[in-house]
């Protein structure tokens, strides 16, 4: 499966523009993490891109979200490790995160929302207007971006990364696609 096919599958299933931007951001951060760990950037990017492929149909049913997505991806012929990472990224299911790609997708998913929310409160409303410390400060404000699960983001330590390293990789990766994100 290549990115072109993955993007086609995503666009066939996801119509919400903000959700698409979240998926692009997750793709970018996953690629940044793959580069850091010497992993397959295309595979990791695809995992990030397709991770919420079922969200338009399962948004109101978190018990099904990601399991349906995993089944969809399996039927489409995606690699088993991408399928499992997608299923395991939803903590509701309690699936073990065994591989590096599983762990990376789990903590990256909420990080993108925290970074976007941080950028949006800066006067310029741009990713280049904020730095890692700005995002870290927002991380510790519990009432800020409540949907960005801090426990999940903190699971970056399962990757052997500090919070600062993880946020820095995420921010740098998302800046590379700021024109797509509109930030």
pLDDT tens column, 76-131: 999 999 999 999 999 999 999 999 999 999 999 999 999 999 999 999 999 999 99
CB 92 within 8 A of CB 58: no
Report the b/e string of 104-123 with b at 16+ CB within 10 A: bbbbbbbbbbbbbbbbeeee
CB 35 within 8 A of CB 80: no
Q: What are phi and psi of 114, to 5 degrees?
A: -65, -40
pLDDT of residue 1: 84
Q: Is residue 61 scored above 90 in pLDDT?
A: yes
pLDDT tens column, 130-162: 999 999 999 999 999 999 999 999 999 999 999
pTM of the model: 0.97
């Amino acid at each position: 499966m290549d990115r072109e096919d993955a993007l086609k599958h995503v666009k066939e299933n996801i119509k919400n523009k903000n959700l698409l931007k979240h998926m692009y951001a997750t793709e970018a951060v996953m690629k940044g993490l793959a580069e850091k760990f010497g992993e397959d950037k295309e595979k990791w990017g695809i995992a990030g891109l397709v991770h919420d492929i079922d969200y338009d149909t399962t948004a109101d049913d978190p018990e099904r979200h990601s399991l349906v997505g995993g089944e969809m991806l399996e039927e489409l012929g995606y690699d088993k490790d991408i399928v499992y990472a997608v299923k395991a990224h939803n903590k509701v299911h309690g699936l073990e995160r065994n591989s590096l790609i599983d762990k990376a997708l789990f903590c990256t998913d909420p990080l993108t929302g925290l970074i976007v929310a941080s950028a949006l409160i800066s006067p310029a409303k741009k990713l280049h207007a904020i730095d890692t410390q700005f995002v870290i400060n927002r991380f510790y404000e519990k009432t800020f971006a409540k949907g960005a699960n801090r426990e999940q983001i903190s699971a970056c330590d399962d990757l052997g990364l500090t919070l600062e390293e993880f946020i820095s990789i995420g921010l740098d990766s998302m800046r590379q696609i700021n024109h797509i994100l509109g930030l």
